[in-house]
Structure 1
Amino acid sequence: MTKRIGVPKDLRDFTEVFAAAGFSCYFVGGAVRDSLLGRPVSDWDAATDAKPEQVRRLFKTVIPTGVQHGTVTVRWRGSSIETTTFRVDGEYKDGRRPESVRFTSELEEDLSRRDFTINGMAVDPRTGEVVDPSGGLADLDAGLIRAIGDPITRFTEDGLRPLRAVRFAARFGFAIDPATLAAIPATLARFRLVSAERIRDEFTKILVSDRAGEGVLRLDETGLLAEFLPELSSCKDVGQGGPHRYDVFRHLVAACDAAPPDTVIRLAALLHDIGKPAKKTEGADGALTFYGHDIESARLAAEALRRLKYPNSVVDDVVLLVRHHMFDYSDEWTDAAVRRFVSRVGLEYVERLAILRLADTSGMGHGPADPRSVLPLIDRVEALRAKDQAFGIKDLAIGGNQLAEIGWPKGPSMGKALSELLEAVLDDPELNTERKLIDIAERIKGKYGVG
């Protein structure tokens, strides 16, 4: 039975411009796939037998985004539509793009060059009929990721495609066709040519998917994970003992799954214990300890994320969360202890650390963590904030200018003085007035050699 999908009127009007000029135009790839799956579609990519220069003559605004490969971006009624001429790809030498392309008038030739059957379909905008030369409809129904044609060839053309296979499987909850799965470890040499930025982007999409844990396990099973995140792979078969049901690797995967789909928090959950293999010690009684693994995990996380070209802001946030994930809040904490904790980690990180702590606990294998274990900490921090209490140097009633006015020279000694004033205020918030802090600053001048 013929399968049809609806194409929005603005997009049908777009293709009518081609038809009026004697060209054909179809929508292809992810938009067709997602429409068939009943998912929202944000981008509609077009394929046409019109060459780039012919497309330019049809529309007012056409951006030459990849003319050498037949691709332009057309501005149409407030949208940008990536439009590519039907083509057959030449040899791939760099593991990413063909050295040359040959334009063709045949849609099916164009579809046959794509990566997976579920991405190798088109829709005729006039009729809504799906064009499916490679069996994508059947694979969608079966929940299967399958390469078009020979998977070794597909993965050799573009070394990122194995990672994309895992990403689509994680996103849709699909299985990977056995032949396609077997081709992944067989083409790892090609994968090694892929840039860190492209790997990062696909990996991040896996991490924020609904089945992040499954995705990471597939990356490990296929050998991909060890290629770009060996720090995580090295956690396999590292036992933990105590309350943990899993080895370090499985624990990290479970913690990642338990975390909300936020890039920073899921990265922190996945990496928070990667320093354990290096810090593992077995006592005379057989008990395992991992002293200092939080510091080592933070160091390794920073190295890994910088290698993958994550933005500095992401690296900094993840490293801080990993470094401080071992906090162990209890109702016995004094208000001063709460203030010191906030001062140490930063007010903006308290909630995320609490979320990471819950994911860490959930990842031990005994069911979801009880949020009541961290909610009292958050409540206490909010109560202290409501009282306008100081958590950092910027919250002090005086700053460097006031210290300078009473004779403190700008430099290291001033910074140390402000830190000491903060320590006093963390112990006793009542000291956070200009007069009282000036008095303290006067008294400690001699300690720092200030006349």
Structure 2
Amino acid sequence: MEPTSGINAKALTPELRRMVQNLPESLLKIVDWFEEQGHSVWIVGGAIRNALLESPIVEYDLATTMIPEKMKMYPDMIPTGEKFGTITFRSKGDFYEITTLRTEKGYGDGRRPDEVEWGLSLSVDLSRRDLSMNSMALDVKKGVYYDPYGGFEDLKRKRICAVGEPKARLSEDALRILRTYRFMDQGIAGVWIPEPNLANALRSTRSMLSKIAGERVWSELKRILIGKNASRILQQMADDGILRQIFNFDWMLDDYRISLLDSLEGDDVLDRLVILFHDAPITACEQASKSLKLSNQEKKTLIFRHRCLGHIPELLDSTLRIHQYVLGNWAQQHLRVEALFAPLNQGGHSKSEIHECISRSEELVTSPSSKSLATGDWIMSHTNVQQGPKLGALKNWLHREQIARNLTDLEQIETLLCTLSWHEDEFAHWPKLQFP
């Protein structure tokens, strides 16, 4: 039986012809290799979708009739997901994931199939995919494509449809819930709405997100957060109870707060997460970091930025320098975030006050080197303070004054030391190099 039995081949659209004409040589080399081995291979999924949308193609995924054991004959391959039929081919420095046609049985855990069997039917393989827009395949050699679930028509009509029964499809892998919200954001084309049955299924299956590993949830959520229409997508996720399911926090997202995501400069995903957590307690931030399995650095950065919310430095060169030093590259962005929230801060900092901070910070002259000039040994030799907490506190105090006063050499530090009340035994209250 032919692998394409039961589905009609369609002539390439102008967009798909352009894609084929511009395929990388590295990919064509792989297609030739499969033909030499007597096996079929197709470009599948996102590359076809993006080509039809005339969006940049980020990667090419392929499907083949060849089983993984045979694919390992390719001279430069990596068995990345052999258990699930996926082998990575390297060609001319490029990497391509190639997966054997397969059928899947049972999704008892709502995350992955209980059983995978290699197949010979392209139709069956495409039937297990999530959305119609992702269930198309293209044969480079024959110059045709296959679209058994009407993905092209759905793209033309700007609608999002599941392959088959929506609830069953989402239940197979709950991460598809988040993928669907991600595909709602079509960049400059706006927000596409899922058809009613799929929209209902998104809400009715949301509890299954608890079965998905935090890393996988975070990977999808990051892509949603930096989308062009992130504010509208997140609002829909809040309305549908998805954010509540992910974060275990009752979201109060009014139009102004959620629209701030559109006003925020840059695509720093943690900045956007901070805006979502603006009114949440720090414990909610900590819990989210844990459940999403953020890296230690991401967790540290998120919680620190959350603690900075609602605080701005005084309009003094010294405090502005400390703010710049402690926050580093995020200092100006922090002030811009505060300016966005200023209209909501009743009795807090005004927008004009924050903009004055931004202006003064941009004009501020600071030393190119901010490393502490006074080492522990230098301090001990000049004060007879021995190693211990007091020495650490004095070093931090000196470093703070070095930054605040823009000091550049040890002679200035020594002069400063003579003016500080470091002889006293109580040092817990000494100024620290910190913000807020």
- In the alignment, the residues of structure 2 paired with residue 389 and residue 127 of structure 1 have an alpha-carbon distance, to the nearest angstrom, of 62
The RMSD of aligned alpha carbons is 2.8
Q: Structure 1 unaligned runs (5+)?
A: 237-247, 276-297
SS at match of 1:385: coil
Structure 1 counterpart of 2:211: 193
SS at match of 2:75: coil
What is the Cα deviation at residue 148 of structure 1?
0.1
Which runs of structure 2 are paired with 1:90-169 in the superposition (5 Å)?
Answer: 90-169=105-184
Q: C-alpha separation between the residues in 1 aligned to 2:86 and 2:344?
A: 45
CA 1:434–1:26 in 2, change beyond 3 Å: closer, same or farther? same
Does 1:313 find its partner at 2:317? no
Q: 1:360-371 maps to which residues of 2 (within 5 A)?
A: 360-361=341-342
Contact between 1:152 and 1:187, CA under 8 Å: does it hold in 2? yes
What one-letter code is carried by the residue in structure 2 that aligns with 1:159? A
2:365 aligned residue (385, 396, 399):
385
Aligned to 1:288: none
State the Cα distance separating 1:193 from its structure 2 match. Answer: 1.0
Counterpart code for 2:274: A
Instruction: For 2:144 and 2:407, locate their aligned partners in 1 and report how far apart those are by CA, in whole Å.
Output: 74
Which residue, out of 251, 262, 265, partners 2:268? 262
Deviation at 1:362, TM superposition (A): 7.5
2:20 counterpart of 1:43: no
Q: Which of 318, 325, 348 pairs up with 2:329? A: 348
Map of 2:433 onto structure 1: none
- Residue 424 of structure 1 and its aligned partner are, at CA, apart by 5.3
- 1:434 is matched with which residue? 413
User: Compared with structure 1, are the counterparts of its residues 27 and 400 closer, same or farther at alpha carbon in structure 2 (3 Å cutoff)?
Assistant: same
Q: Distance in 1 between matches of 2:57 and 2:368?
A: 48
User: What amino acid sits opposite 1:100 in the alignment?
Assistant: E
Higher deviation after alignment, 5-14 or 23-32: 5-14
| Counterpart Cα distance in 1 of 2:251 and 2:354 | 27
Work out whether 1:445 is the aligned partner of 2:428. Answer: no
Q: How does 1:19-418 map to 2 (within 5 A)?
A: 19-57=35-73, 59-172=74-187, 173-231=191-249, 234-236=250-252, 249-260=254-265, 261-275=267-281, 298-328=282-312, 333-342=315-324, 345-361=326-342, 374=354, 376-386=356-366, 388=367, 394-395=371-372, 397-406=373-382, 407-418=384-395
Q: Please say if residues 12 and 145 of structure 2, whose CA atoms lie closer than 8 Å, have aligned partners that are also in contact.
A: yes
Deviation larger for 146-155 or 264-273: 264-273
Q: Which among 16, 22, 28 is matched to residue 32 of structure 2?
A: 16
Structure 1 residues 338 and 132 mapped into 2: Cα distance closer, same or farther (>3 Å)?
A: same
Question: Contact 1:170–1:211 at 8 Å: present in 2 too?
Answer: yes
Secondary structure of 1:138 counterpart: helix
Cα offset, 1:256, TM superposition: 2.4
2:206 and 2:24 mapped to 1: Cα distance?
44
Q: In structure 2, give the amino acid aligned to 1:316.
A: K
Structure 2 gap segments, 5+ residues each: 1-9, 428-436
**Closer, same or farther: CA 56–125 of 1 in aligned 2, 3 Å:** same
C-alpha separation in 2, matches of 1:414 and 1:320: 26
Deviations 1:275-294 (A, max 9, x none): 3xxxxxxxxxxxxxxxxxxx
Q: 1:96-131: per-residue Cα shift (whole Å, max 9, x none)?
A: 221212222221111111010000001111244221
Note the C-alpha offset of 1:382.
Answer: 4.5
Q: What percentage of aligned pairs have identical amino acids?
A: 26
Question: Retained in 2: the 8 A contact 1:88–1:103?
Answer: yes
| Matched residue SS, 1:164 | helix
What CA deviation, in whole Å up to 9, does each residue of 1:211-250 have, x standing for no partner? Answer: 111111221232221111132xx242xxxxxxxxxxx554
> Which amino acid is the alignment partner of residue 209 of structure 2?
F
User: TM-score, length-normalised on structure 1?
Assistant: 0.80
> CA 1:427–1:92 in 2, change beyond 3 Å: closer, same or farther?
closer
Give the SS at the match of 2:78.
strand
Q: CA deviation at 1:438?
A: 3.9
Alpha-carbon separation, structure 1, partners of 2:303 and 2:424: 38
Q: SS at the partner of 1:346?
A: helix
CA distance in 1, matches of 2:238, 2:88: 37
Q: CA 1:190–1:430 in structure 2 vs 1: closer, same or farther (change >3 Å)?
A: closer
1:345-396 Cα offsets, whole Å, 9 max, x none, are 43433112023223324789xxxx98x765543443344434x299x7x44x
Assess if the C-alpha contact under 8 Å between 1:398 and 1:437 holds in 2: no
**Separation in 1, partners of 2:127, 2:394:** 70
Q: 1:273 is aligned with what amino acid?
A: D
Distance 1:335 1:71, change over 3 A: closer
- In the alignment, the residues of structure 2 paired with residue 317 and residue 250 of structure 1 have an alpha-carbon distance, to the nearest angstrom, of 26
Contact 2:374–2:398 (8 Å) recurs in 1: no
Q: Distance in 2 between matches of 1:431 and 1:38?
A: 55
Deviation at 1:138, TM superposition (A): 0.6
Aligned equivalents of 1:422, 1:17: Cα separation in 2: 63
SS in 2 for 1:130: strand
What is the rounded CA distance, in whole Å, between the counterparts of 1:420 and 1:100 in structure 2?
A: 62
How many residue pairs match? The answer is 400
The 10-residue stretch of structure 1 (94-103 or 251-260) with the greater mean CA deviation from structure 2: 251-260
SS of equivalent residue, structure 1 residue 192? helix
Deviating more after overlay: 347-356 vs 25-34: 347-356
Question: Is contact 1:86-1:106 (8 Å) kept?
Answer: yes
**Cα pair 1:256 1:359 within 8 Å, conserved:** no
Q: Post-superposition shift, 1:69? A: 2.0
What letter matches 2:272 in structure 1? Answer: R
